[in-house]
Amino acid sequence: MRYPAAMAEIRIGIVGSGFLAETRARCWEQVRGARVVAVASRQRAGADAFATKHGIPQAFDSAEALFGSDIDVADLCVPNRIHRPLTEAAAAAGKHVICTKPLSAYVGQDLDSATSEGAVGTRDPVTMFQVATDDARAMNDACASASITLCYGENWVYAPGVVRAAGLLESAGAALLEMRGWECHSGSHSPYAKAWRNTGGGALLRLGAHPVGAMLHLKRLEAARTGAAAICPVAVTAETTDLSQVAGATAANTRIATGWQDVENWGCAVIHFSDGSRGIATGSDNVLGGMESRLEIYASNCQVKCNLSPSDGVRAYAPDGEVFGDRYLQEKLDTGAGWSTPMLDEDWTSGQLPMCQAFADALATGSSPASDGALGLDVTRVIYAGYVSAREGRRVTLDELEAAG
């Protein structure tokens, strides 16, 4: 299913009505050549309220009903555990798919319900790798078989700072030697994020997937502009832990989220690339003061640093948290007191809005998006290789993990 270049409008159907769906709805409202025409949520009341809020003409109480409607694209803003089944269902219905990160995750889908409770997070990490990557491949295969496009919703790829950095690196003809990236904040307070059976991992997966995706993308671009063979991740060395359990951290002196069950609230992975370069990706739920999303690139003839958040285009001071009232300042910022960096347009600087526009343009012209299903698969491979490395305390190669399957 391909669209002619002259197609006037891409019809979007959003699956979900939570935080990410709200972000996407705001972004789609600003995208040229696209319009949200339907939303689906498990609770019809939630779908109706979301539709009313955003002026969406159709609301459904199931994803399947939405896939049967007159949409062109299904934007899946749903929990990790249902990425594969909904992608396959959308593909079978002939709908293009936008799937948020991570493309797939291990949530005990190979276990029966009687044994999965409490056992998911302790599963052999090599099995986790195999199941998660099998799901990611199945999603890619389902979309390819149906001749439709799978877009991987990695917003860092489209963040203006990362796009600008990529242009500078191209002009410099630089070889990327080392990259360091991290996304950090004070942690999710949702109980769902604290159990492996819901999310498929902790901070390395939820937060670290962003810098991992950006790094893999930049190495893709480097290979393309130099005419070299693909520059791929070949090995991973990682550590993970729950730093909220550090001795001395008490209920009285701790302001970060606590209560993590079987997932890490800190993870760091060193990615070994086929050209000998390295990437260091960190996800952390131990950082107060708002979201920190950064990427640093150390190249053969230059250095580039991207501050997605915070950005100091605006700096503000308030003697107490009531001065700015309920005015939004920055994601995960828990007080407006003192100095802060109110984001100019977080949907833009985070890459969410440019990503939606890029996906609409790619689908309208039949071209491949920069962040595609293959990138999502590679991110899954790296993250779960990281979990194997962290559990076994050694560097692991992707080839050995693939062979083990």
Indicate if 309 and 398 belong to the same structural domain: yes
Q: How far is CA 171 from CA 301, 325, 381, in A?
A: 11, 45, 31
Indicate if 101 and 177 belong to the same structural domain: no
Stretch 43-63: mean pLDDT, rounded? 96
Indicate if 162 and 146 belong to the same structural domain: no
**pLDDT tens readout for residues 1-14:** 333 344 569 999 99
Q: Write out the residue range of the structural domain in which residue 116 sits.
A: 10-155
CA–CA gap between residue 328 and residue 250 (Å, rounded):
30
Indicate if 36 and 85 belong to the same structural domain: yes
Long-range contacts of 330-336 (CB under 8 A, 24+ apart): 330/290, 330/291, 331/185, 331/290, 331/291, 332/185, 332/186, 332/290, 332/291, 333/289, 333/290, 333/291, 334/186, 334/255, 334/288, 334/290
Indicate if 257 and 304 belong to the same structural domain: yes
Stretch 216-245: mean pLDDT, rounded? 96
Stretch 132-159: mean pLDDT, rounded? 98
Indicate if 32 and 178 belong to the same structural domain: no
Q: Helices in 29-124 by DSSP H: which ranges?
A: 44-54, 63-67, 83-92, 113-116
Supply the CATH number for residue 219's domain: 3.30.360.10
β-pair partners for 99: 76, 152
Indicate if 102 and 212 belong to the same structural domain: no
How do the residues of the chain divide into helix, strand and coil, expressed in percent and rounded to 5?
Answer: 40, 20, 40
Residue 1 is predicted with a pLDDT of 37
Q: What's the pTM?
A: 0.92
Given a cut of 80, is residue 246 above it in pLDDT? Answer: yes
Q: Among 155, 189, 224, which residue terminates a domain?
A: 155
Higher pLDDT, 223 or 323: 223
Residue 291 covered by a domain: yes
Residue 329 is predicted with a pLDDT of 67
Indicate if 138 and 279 belong to the same structural domain: no
CA–CA gap between residue 291 and residue 185 (Å, rounded):
5
Residue 272 covered by a domain: yes
Give the chain's mean pLDDT.
93
Indicate if 324 and 177 belong to the same structural domain: yes
What pLDDT band is residue 231 in, cutting at 50, 70 and 90? very high
Residue 44 is predicted with a pLDDT of 92
Indicate if 141 and 166 belong to the same structural domain: no
**pLDDT tens readout for residues 294-319:** 999 999 999 999 999 888 776 766 67
Indicate the number of domains in the chain.
2
Q: Among 123, 155, 187, which residue terminates a domain?
A: 155
Lowest-confidence region among 51-60, 301-310, 334-343: 334-343
